[in-house]
Amino acid sequence: MLETFSLETFVNHVGEEFLVTPAEGEPVTVRLVEATSLGPAPHAGGRAPFSLIFGDSPRAVLPQGIHAMRHETIGAFELFIVPLQPDRSGPLFQAVFN
């Protein structure tokens, strides 16, 4: 499923909630706060790289790693996320697709 994801998969869902279930711990809801292009596809037929930033959940504590995620429209999938420096609304997490 991840191989079919593109920026277009997520861009219309900025501001929406995603349920994250870590390998250990309780599920937490985060909001997609940014979906950004990282440039053109590296070769013909390839996927253009993009970045997703999740946050807006002051109590979210998610370690770097693969987490089960669920979105109302996109469905269930697993995503490798990395914690970023928190902003004033709380922790931020990034996923990069190359």
What are the pLDDT tens digits along the chain (98 aa)?
A: 677 899 999 999 999 999 999 888 889 999 999 999 998 877 766 788 999 999 988 778 899 999 999 999 999 999 999 999 888 888 999 999 98
pTM, to two decimals:
0.91
Residue 17 pairs with which residues in a beta bridge?
31
Q: Is residue 78 part of a domain?
A: no
Q: Is residue 79 part of a domain?
A: no
Q: According to the model, what pLDDT value does residue 44 have?
A: 66
Q: Is residue 57 part of a domain?
A: yes
Query: ∠ CA(78), CA(5), CA(82), 5° rounding?
Result: 45
Q: What residues make up the domain containing 38?
A: 2-65+86-97
Q: According to the model, what pLDDT value does residue 87 have?
A: 82
Q: Is residue 71 part of a domain?
A: no
Q: According to the model, what pLDDT value does residue 66 have?
A: 94
Q: Is residue 72 part of a domain?
A: no
CB 2 within 8 A of CB 10: no
Q: According to the model, what pLDDT value does residue 56 have?
A: 83
Q: Is residue 73 part of a domain?
A: no
Work out the number of other CB atoms within 10 angstroms of the CB of residue 91: 20
For strands 90-97 and 50-55, give the pairing. Answer: antiparallel
Q: According to the model, what pLDDT value does residue 30 have?
A: 96
Q: Is residue 74 part of a domain?
A: no
Total tally of structural domains belonging to the chain: 1
Q: According to the model, what pLDDT value does residue 4 have?
A: 84
Per DSSP, the three-state class of 75 is strand
Q: Is residue 70 part of a domain?
A: no
